[in-house]
Amino acid sequence: MKRSNGLNALIRLTIAVVALSGLISAYLLNRSPDYATSGKVLLTLCVISVLLLIFEGIVFQNHTRKSIAKLATAISKTEKNSLMNFPAPAVIIDSKATILWYNRRFAMDILATEEAYGWKMTDIGNIDMQKVFTPNGDLVCLSKRFYEAKAVHNEQAKGSLSLIFFNDISDYIELKYETRQSHKAVIIVSIDNLDDVMANIRESEKAHIVVEIEKLIENFVENTTAVTKKTASDRFYIYMEERHLAPIIEARFKILEQARKITVDGRNNVTLSIGVGRTGENLAVSERQAKQALELCQGRGGDQAAVHEDGEFKFFGGVSNSSDKNNKVKVRMVAKAMYERITSFEKVLIMGHRFADLDAVGAATGLCCAIKPLVKEAYVVVDPVNNLSKPLIEHITDNNMTNYYITPQQGLEMLDFNTLLIVVDTHNPNLVESADILQRAKEIIVIDHHRRMVNGIEPTLMTYLEPGASSACELVTDLIEYFGDKSKISVPAAEALLSGIMLDTKNFVMRTGSGTFEAAAYLKRLGADTVTVKKLFANSMETYQQKSMLINSAEVYRNCAIAYTKENFANIRIAASQAADDMLGITDVLASFVVYESNSVVNISARSMGAINVQVIMESLGGGGHHTMAACQLKTDLQTAMVNLKKAIDEYIKNNG
């Protein structure tokens, strides 16, 4: 077409040049009498040529217009036919997302009715119109197929029309889903107390227990494609696809409850700890996740499962009390290693948690007394005002034990590169007496009896966590026994340790194992007086009345006594904890909770006789603790805190019966 038009233009130009030349020649000839006739002929031919040129231009222009019109019509029909027969569904909508037109593929693949003109796009399915106009579009499911819906918007068109086309990516979505479902997870199952169960029973009974446990694991992977490998007498590795693991997690690991039914002579229930790594990019990463999850389970007392996903851990189970292992060999090794680390420093600072109770201050005081002969300086860091152990601090000071307690500010000023920090009765970095000291300390040792939490104090020079122990004072007492003759403690320090044990065991009633009595007997041999210790628990008349007021406000909800107060008085923390203890004496009450507000934060103190794990309930609200004693803080109002507490109780009972 371009070559033809160029040739025609060249011909017309040639004719025009010839005509112009002829006119000039005719004019010159007409001026000469001899050639006048020839000039007239030539002029006539030139005129005829010009007329022909004009006529040709008119005819050609009309022909061009017709050709362009015919071509435009052909193009318009082609566009329309192409869009109508486009291999992907397409629809045109107006500014109000009303359907004005759609192609055949849209009608066949998406519409279930004959016509949808005038419908809204949201009538077709769950379509986010804002996402449709983004560069990535919106993923929609229509007629059991997955589409990537994208829009092309024409801002200049009157009426603001838009074209939406749907790219079928069902095969990709199905492949992605299948890849996710076939992803391999690593599950490590460990038997918590196999040595205890197997102790002092006949060989035939041992064989029976082994068979029951292996049968339990076989039933766990039944009807799945999982592969199981027993790597030790008390440990199993399981490799399972996500498609089979998801229902197990949804059912909250029923294998935990089934394991508790395995008994020997009606006692010593078998419990399991299960670590699951399900999001690793390969098996090696998933195995590391599973090991970390298993370690957390065992650090929290066992009888539970931990699942690592999305960078965090989810816990299931944990309704049994931690077993009292009373492993003196482990204690001796820990004590020896800790002794060597302590003596390598010149100064030692010891601190517990905020609002330190008798267990925190008692453990710190006893440890400080044992350490003082080993280093140049050793002090207990405690807030002199905001603590629950003023009678104990006064008792130590009155017995000529000076230079024991310093404020957090003094401790911060003393801290240097040759100072060791020991944290007792907590491993939560958000609960320590001084966050500044913890942050600046280079070397840290942690001694705690609470269940291991996910984001504990890290890094540490050494961590000694025993959730089976009754208290931090019990752990410190066990360690001091193996420190040697140089670190003998005084009678007041022994009484400080005994007070912490008596506090957390409720006078040797709760969480009391054989190791607890052995620690108490050791302190008694050192001269600790139980009458003197009992006086440390004495309350003022005002605190006693406040405790009674809290108990009078209690209501029983699903075998849980819940008390609350809107008032804020001086010793509310002491009164609340004692009220929670006393409410456990109410008939049919399995757990108690006291809710109160202090410093614009709602506090909850929780206690249990063991049938309910209050640590799990408090952990669901952002707190923690251990099986029979826990707490949490909520930045909300009192009424909302009560509602959230009851929901947490409902959820616990639903999941644990």
- List, for residues 319-358, the tens digit of each pLDDT value: 666 555 556 788 899 999 999 999 999 999 999 998 899 9
Over range 448-452, report the average pLDDT. Answer: 85
Among 282, 317, 352, which residue terminates a domain? 317
Q: What CATH code is carried by the domain that includes residue 615?
A: 3.10.310.30
Q: Which residue range forms the structural domain that includes residue 109?
A: 90-177
CA gap 201, 260 in Å, rounded: 18
Same domain? 14 vs 60: yes
Looking at the structure, do residues 360 and 508 belong to the same domain, yes or no?
A: yes
pLDDT above 60: residue 577? yes
358 with 470, same domain: the answer is: yes
Total count of domains within the chain: 5
Higher pLDDT, 211 or 24: 211
Three-state secondary structure readout of 236-274? EEEEEEHHHHHHHHHCCCHHHHHHHCCCECCECCCCEEE
State the pLDDT at residue 251.
Answer: 87
Average pLDDT over residues 556-575: 87
Phi/psi of residue 61, each to 5°?
-60, -45
Structure tokens at 381: 């860091």
- CATH number, domain of 203, equals 3.30.70.270
231 and 293 in a common domain: yes
Domain identity same for 345 and 446: yes
The reply to whether 244 falls in a domain is yes
What is the Cα–Cα distance from 84 to 161, expressed in whole angstroms? 17
The reported pLDDT for the residue numbered 605 is 93
Q: Are residues 382 and 500 in the same domain?
A: yes
Mean pLDDT taken over the chain? 84
Q: Environment class of residue 265 by beta-carbon count within 10 Å: exposed (0-12), middle (13-18) or buried (19+)?
A: exposed
Residue pair 35/27 in contact (Cβ under 8 Å)? The answer is no
Residue 65's pLDDT band, with cuts at 50, 70 and 90, is: low
Q: Is pLDDT at 369 greater than 90 in this prediction?
A: yes
Q: Is residue 322 part of a domain?
A: no
Closest CA to 217 of 269, 163, 255, 245: 255
What predicted TM-score, i.e. pTM, was given to this entire model? Answer: 0.66
Using DSSP's 3-state secondary structure scheme, residue 103 falls into coil
Q: Are residues 268 and 405 in the same domain?
A: no
Same domain, 527 and 552: no
Q: What is the pLDDT of residues 127-173, one digit of tens each?
A: 888 888 888 888 888 888 899 988 887 655 455 788 888 998 989 98
Kindly report the number of other CB atoms within 10 A of residue 594's CB atom. Answer: 30
**For 257-308, how does the pLDDT look when each residue is reduced to its tens digit (9 = 90+)?**
888 888 776 666 788 999 999 988 899 999 999 998 998 888 777 888 999 8
The C-alpha atoms of residue 263 and residue 197 are separated, in whole angstroms, by 8
**Alpha helix (H) residue ranges in 433-490:** 435-440, 472-481
- What is the predicted pLDDT for the residue at 451? 78
Q: How large is the average pLDDT for residues 433-456? A: 90
Q: What mean pLDDT is predicted for residues 382-411?
A: 91
In the listed set 287, 317, 347, which residue is the last one of a domain according to the structure? Answer: 317
Report pLDDT for 372: 93
The β-bridge partners of 168 are 147
- H or E element, residue 5: helix 2-30
Same domain for 12 and 136, yes or no, is no
Residue that finishes a domain, picked among 297, 317, 337: 317
Is the domain of 376 the same as that of 508? Answer: yes
Residue 1, pLDDT score: 46
Confidence of residue 500 (pLDDT cuts 50, 70, 90): very high
Do both 27 and 94 map to the same domain?
A: no
Q: Are residues 413 and 550 in the same domain?
A: no
Sign of the Cα pseudo-torsion (46, 48, 50, 52, in order): negative
Residue 241, pLDDT > 80, answer yes
Amino acid 279: pLDDT: 87
265 domain residue, yes or no: yes
Burial group, residue 60, by CB count within 10 angstroms (0-12, 13-18, 19+): middle
CATH code (residue 129): 3.30.450.20
% pLDDT > 90, the chain: 39
Phi-psi domain of 313 (left: phi exceeds 0; alpha: psi -120 through 50; beta: other):
beta
pLDDT of residue 3: 46
Structural domain includes residue 323: no
